[in-house]
Chains A and B, each alone.
Chain A
Amino acid sequence: MQKDVARTGKVKKQKKTDKQGLLMFLSISPFLILCFLFSYYPLQGWIYAFYDYRSPLKLSQCEFVGLKWFRTLFANKAQVSQLLQVMENTFAMSLLGIATSVLPVGFAVFLNEIKNKKFKNIVQTLTTLPNFISWVLVYSVAFSLFSYTGMFNTVLQHLGLISEPLKILDSDAHTYLKMLLWSTWKGLGWGAIMYLAAIAGIDQELYEAARVDGANRFQLMRHITMPALIPTYIVLLMLSVANFLNNSMDQYYVFQNSFNREHIQVLDLYVYNIGMTGNSISLATAISMLKSIVSVTLLVLVNFISKKTRGESII
């Protein structure tokens, strides 16, 4: 009898939690729908890659062309050379980004050597600032400083170093380098924050002990500070490898003009240019579809390597 009561009590409680659990689910369901609409539903748009889609028409009115666009990518000579150039740009920018990913580490390590707290704070605050302005503003700044009457040209002319204003923005010379410099300007201070946080977590006694043993400044950096930063560095490095094809187009879009188009078009920008302005919707979809597949494969691969070598996944 008592057992029965206990059981029905339990069942009741179970039912109550079930009901509550369902209620909880219902309360988050609007967000699930949003997530589905903006992240999953667009995937069905990949079907456009198999049609010859013309903008105002309905998909059913367009011709099904199968793998035509994918074949064009690799068969049409002009298309192939253009795509190769775009891939070269994408690889160059990504590789340069990865190659300079040690800069924030150096920034953090050397900033840590500054003992004046006030100075350190000011440096940290002000160098992080460019990260919080948009690429449009960065471009506006660039335009102001490097146009013909901008500070850069006028100062050099005053000093007599050049007689004619230099073309900085409207030329295709050293495009990769310029883009790298701008992204470094914007991101260096911000990139260092995570490493500074890691440094703040290092046990100060380690330094004390090493100093007693007669280690000098550079030995402390080399043997205590740097090893503490390696795990963070590796995670970020792996993420940037996984994001190799995703340069995001903001920076390149604002800096692009008819002079530098050849070398500034990275994959994301290229897809935008041909899809949104050139109206080759189907071709653009085909390219971004390939891109997504390669990206996800890269991510899974990098994650697998991370699991094997570090015993930890990055996603």
Chain B
Amino acid sequence: MKGKKHKQTKKQTRADITFHIINYTIFASLTILCVYPFYYLIINTISSNTLSANGVINFLPRGIHLENYKQVLQLKGLPLAAGISLARTVLGTVCTVFASAYLGFMFTQDKMWGRRIWYRFMIITMYFNAGIIPVFLTMKALHLTNNFWVYVIPVIVQPFNIILVKTYVESIPRSLQEAAQIDGAGFFRIFYKIILPTCTPILATVAIFAAVAQWNSFQDTLIYVTDQKLYSLQYLLYTYINQANSLAMMVKNSAGTGLNIASLATTQTATSIRMTVSVVVVLPILFVYPLFQRFFVKGIMIGSVKG
């Protein structure tokens, strides 16, 4: 009986085969569509710049060299911006993870004075926003404009992450905490010794979300920062793209051939620099991403329980 059933599922009709071929093809093409742009950037940065400028490098690198990367690393402002981005990512992530863990845990403690009210007080902020200008004026009043801490302090309390941790803590058996309490452990000790270790999966999720958001953030630099020393990598990349944009425009508008060639040469470096910086900006994500992928799938499932 069982053998027969197996045979039945194994036997594929022609319609099944056609379906699978189409299905696999569609997903393979979607995947290529998602990956190819990154591949394109990478092969163009390591190929000969003249070939790259002529648009010949589409599928395989040619005339491989690493000059672009050497040049880019010497660019004024880039190492500093990389340092700023790295610092905000590390600091911001640590602060957010700690705050989410601590608040998520605290909001499960019935003993806490005004627990419900304070929980609501924080969560409700997900659903309204004073708007870009009032927030800007607030930052200015707090002396956070043109200040590195504008990248870290305003994002420490994140309601969504608090919900994630709280939901997770509630799923841990209470007896664990009670046992520790009977042994005389205070709430901070319980947090440190029991909650932190058992919540690792959800904290990893929060950490990866926070880190990616920090690394990718560009709006805060745009709005709150004018000091070039505080530019984040993303914002620097944005200014590079715009420079390339205006240079390209100049080439298009200029009539003299001599000038044309000269500015064309600059355009090329602008383009290659832009692409190389893009790769530098995206590489950390490409490396870290596969390691953490399983965590956020889990995290999003926990999040969806709350909805």
Where the two chains meet, the residues of A that have a C-beta atom closer than 8 Å to any C-beta of B are: 17-18, 20-22, 24-25, 27-28, 31-32, 34-35, 37-46, 48, 107, 110-111, 113-114, 119, 122-123, 125-130, 132-137, 139-141, 143-145, 147-151, 153-155, 185, 188-189, 193-194, 197-198, 211, 217, 232, 235, 246, 249-250, 253-254, 257, 268, 271-272, 275-276, 281, 284-285, 288-289, 291-292, 295-296, 299, 312, 314-315
Contact = CB atoms under 8 A, between A and B. Distances in A.
Interface string B253-275: 00000000000000000010011
Contacts of B129: 246, 292, 295
Given A17-B111, A31-B122, A137-B216, 15 more contacts: A45-B133, A46-B134, A48-B133, A133-B282, A134-B216, A143-B245, A145-B37, A197-B297, A250-B219, A272-B132, A275-B133, A285-B131, A295-B129, A296-B127, A315-B126
A7 to B, nearest CB: 21
Contacts of B58: 151, 154-155
Question: Main secondary structure on chain B at its contact with chain A?
Answer: helix
Interface residues of B, number: 90
Interface of B: 9, 16, 19-20, 23-24, 26-28, 30-31, 33-35, 37-38, 40-41, 44, 53-56, 58, 99, 102-103, 106, 109, 111-114, 118, 121-122, 125-138, 142, 153-154, 156-157, 187-188, 212, 215-219, 222-223, 234-235, 237-238, 241, 244-245, 248, 271, 274-275, 278, 281-282, 285-286, 289-290, 293, 296-297, 300-301, 304, 307
B107 to A, nearest CB: 8
A259 to B, nearest CB: 11
A111 B27 contact: yes
Contact of B285 (A31, A43, A127, A132): A132
Contact of B301 (A20, A197, A250): A197
B44 to A, nearest CB: 7
A127 B142 contact: no
B134 A42 contact: yes
B133 A185 contact: no
B212 A126 contact: no
A288 B132 contact: yes
B156 A275 contact: no
15 contacts: A31-B103, A31-B122, A43-B134, A111-B27, A123-B28, A123-B30, A132-B216, A134-B217, A137-B234, A140-B278, A143-B274, A246-B129, A253-B222, A271-B132, A272-B132
A126 B134 contact: no
A139 B282 CA distance: 13
Contacts of B37: 141, 144-145
Contacts of B132: 268, 271-272, 275-276, 284, 288
Contacts of A148: 248
A137 B284 CA distance: 13
A271 B114 CA distance: 37
Nearest to A299: B127
Contact of A35 (B35, B53, B157): B157
